[in-house]
Amino acid sequence: MSTEPHDLSTSPDHLPPTGGAGVDAEVEPAPQHRLPPALRAMRPRQWTKNVLVFTAPLAGGLLLEPVVLGKAALAFVAFCLVSAAVYLVNDIHDVAEDRLHPRKRHRPIAAGQLGVPAAWVLAAVCALVGFGIAFLTSLPLGATVVTYLVLQVLYSLFLKHMPIIDLAMVASGFLLRAVAGGVASGIELSQWFLLVASFGSLFMVAGKRYSEFVALGVDAGTRKSLERYSESYLRFSWMLAASMVVVFYSLWAFEQGGDGAWGINWAAMSIAPFTLGMLQYALKVDTGEAGEPEDIVLQDRVLQVLGVLWVVLISLAVFG
């Protein structure tokens, strides 16, 4: 198992970058790291996905309430720890294959910088502490975190080989993060929130697969995560999901009315940067440049500007 979707070196949450593995592949030089091996094996860069736990309190206009913010923060920590446990177990499972991969061979466990017994202990500690934080915060949050872990394991062992189901399983990792913020704080999740979160998750997953397909070209059929799909099917999937996200978000926004600051429907105003952000992300997907979702968000300046504008407008809508 390894981390996110799609071949024997991945798990639902983390979609693998392009590039094949094999003994004949060009070996990449070992990158320089400042973090200790144990922390690197927990993949803190992937924890940025867990900010999704704050979306439900934000959409409900309750994020600034100390109790709600505190519970959402605990949900964030719980997901960071449990997802770290999944990454560790995945790397332990795939250590032999990773040692033959030009890039993954530099991962701490594959490189021998973190022993397998120590990795097992670290994974167990992360999982147990994460579960403890989640269940102490609220029983629904604990159940959500456990469901997340179970789905990750089922995907890695069995469901990654089932077309369509594998896309849904990968997307569930993003969806459960979004749901966790609401259940942790006792916030009722609206139908619009669940629809936007569901199709948004599918958009990111199908878009990542399609982008890999475009980047690999004629070699796409050699990637296990892509061999069951055609380029046209993946394109249809991410375009369908993107369309649904914009439609459902717009329906929610127009439903808010003019109760925001100065009597303006700021939620409706936020449709513009939201849609432009979707189009900017889709551009990366369509040209084969869509890497991990967190990498796109952290590196794309246009997307960052649109994101800030959206946050300002949605804050005026829910807090004004």
Label residue 262 left, alpha or beta by phi (over 0 means left) and psi (-120 to 50 means alpha): left
Average pLDDT over residues 259-284: 89
Tens of pLDDT along 47-89?
988 999 999 999 888 999 999 999 999 999 999 999 999 889 8
Claim to verify: residue 74 and residue 135 sit in the same structural domain: yes
The tally of domains found in the chain comes to 2
Claim to verify: residue 118 and residue 223 sit in the same structural domain: no
The residue among 236 and 228 whose pLDDT is bigger is 236
Handedness of CA 132, 136, 139, 140 (dihedral sign): negative
Provide the domain limits for residue 320: 190-320
Residue 88: CATH number of its domain? 1.10.357.140
Average predicted confidence (pLDDT) for the chain: 85
Claim to verify: residue 72 and residue 87 sit in the same structural domain: yes
CA distance 243 to 63: 28
Q: Which residue in the block uniquely carries the two structure tokens 């100065």?
A: 262
Claim to verify: residue 173 and residue 252 sit in the same structural domain: no
Q: What is the pLDDT of residue 258?
A: 63
Claim to verify: residue 185 and residue 209 sit in the same structural domain: no
Band (pLDDT 50/70/90 cuts) for residue 28 is: low
Residues 6+ apart with CB under 8 A from 130: 77, 78, 79, 80, 81, 82, 84, 85, 145
pTM for the complete prediction?
0.81
Q: What is the pLDDT of residue 143?
A: 97
Handedness of CA 311, 312, 314, 318 (dihedral sign): positive
**Boundary of a domain, candidates 123, 157, 189:** 189
Claim to verify: residue 221 and residue 162 sit in the same structural domain: no
Claim to verify: residue 60 and residue 209 sit in the same structural domain: no
Band (pLDDT 50/70/90 cuts) for residue 199 is: very high
Claim to verify: residue 184 and residue 279 sit in the same structural domain: no
Lowest mean pLDDT among 66-75, 117-126, 149-158, 295-304: 149-158
Claim to verify: residue 179 and residue 269 sit in the same structural domain: no
Claim to verify: residue 164 and residue 292 sit in the same structural domain: no
**Boundary of a domain, candidates 155, 189, 223:** 189
| 3 state DSSP class of 129 | helix
Contact 220, 230 (CB under 8 A): no
Tens of pLDDT along 127-181?
999 999 999 999 999 999 999 999 987 887 778 778 889 899 889 999 999 999 9
Claim to verify: residue 39 and residue 65 sit in the same structural domain: yes
**Boundary of a domain, candidates 189, 205, 240:** 189
Claim to verify: residue 138 and residue 247 sit in the same structural domain: no
